Amino acid sequence: DAGVIQSPRHEVTEMGQEVTLRCKPISGHDYLFWYRQTMMRGLELLIYFNNNVPIDDSGMPEDRFSAKMPNASFSTLKIQPSEPRDSAVYFCASRRGGTLNNYGYTFGSGTRLTVV
Amino acid sequence: GIQVEQSPPDLILQEGANSTLRCNFSDSVNNLQWFHQNPWGQLINLFYIPSGTKQNGRLSATTVATERYSLLYISSSQTTDSGVYFCAVEETSGSRLTFGEGTQLTVNP
């Protein structure tokens, strides 16, 4: 398996622009997570899905952030409008559910977002 | 929510030295993982270890779930071991990983 695939690897955008981050989870994994990593706050969970349904979005910082999972193999995290304080590394992760989960969470390589 | 504390926050070693990293957590967990974040920012899964002991080459880990701690051992360290080591746990009450603040390891040649 190719692992969790994220795109783009790097994104530089101007304040006020819309940004869309993409994630393809590992086939057969029914949980998908979006994390953000900053120097100040470390690694924090933004939102997670189970079987394509959003379960907990309490970590989404504000209404400018939205996430979707239209099918089992694709998810997006959108920021509109973007602000400089959104600059961070955004990770996507996936895992199997229940007793099938013997390997834990697998993380993608991350998207480094810079908003100028 | 669950608290995850890692120690030490920083560690500097000479190549060839051994080290032990510690992770304490405040509640029962379903899952515990150790990750290595390399200089390129990638989070590499080292161990899935909710309990017991595992070994992978020069690295090994032990989790004592009843006492709520886990240890990561690195033997004969190499410069490529440098980076940040994270402990992350999944509470029994939820389906999310909560990360510690990490241990920054520097291995000098």
B13-69 pLDDT tens trace: 999 999 999 999 999 998 999 999 998 899 999 999 999 999 999 999 999 999 999
- Which pLDDT value is given to residue A19? 98
Radius of gyration of chain B (CA): 13
CB of B58 closer than 8 Å to CB of B47? no
CA distance A1 to A85: 35
Residues on chain B touching A33 (C-beta within 8 angstroms): 96-97
Decide if pLDDT at B90 tops 80.
yes
Distance from CA of B49 to the nearest CA of A (A): 9
pLDDT less than 70: residues of chain A: 1, 99-102
Is B48 in Cβ contact with A103 (below 8 Å)? yes
CB of B82 closer than 8 Å to CB of B107? yes
- Which pLDDT value is given to residue A99? 59
When CB atoms are compared, the residue of A31, A106, A110 closest to B95 is A31
When CB atoms are compared, the residue of B33, B42, B96 closest to A33 is B96
Residues on chain B touching A48 (C-beta within 8 angstroms): 95-96
Is A43 in Cβ contact with B45 (below 8 Å)? no
Distance from CA of B17 to the nearest CA of A (A): 28
Of B82, B72, B99, which is closest to residue B5 (Cα–Cα)? B99
Residues on chain B touching A4 (C-beta within 8 angstroms): none
Decide if pLDDT at B92 tops 90.
no
CB of A27 closer than 8 Å to CB of A73? yes
When CB atoms are compared, the residue of A31, A42, A112 closest to B99 is A42
Q: What is the DSSP letter of A25?
A: P
Of B43, B49, B53, which is closest to residue B29 (Cα–Cα)? B49
CB of A37 closer than 8 Å to CB of A43? yes
Q: For residues A80-114, b (16+ Cβ closer than 10 Å) or e, as one string? A: eebeeebbbbbbbbbbbeeeebeebbbbbbbbbbe
- Which pLDDT value is given to residue A1? 67
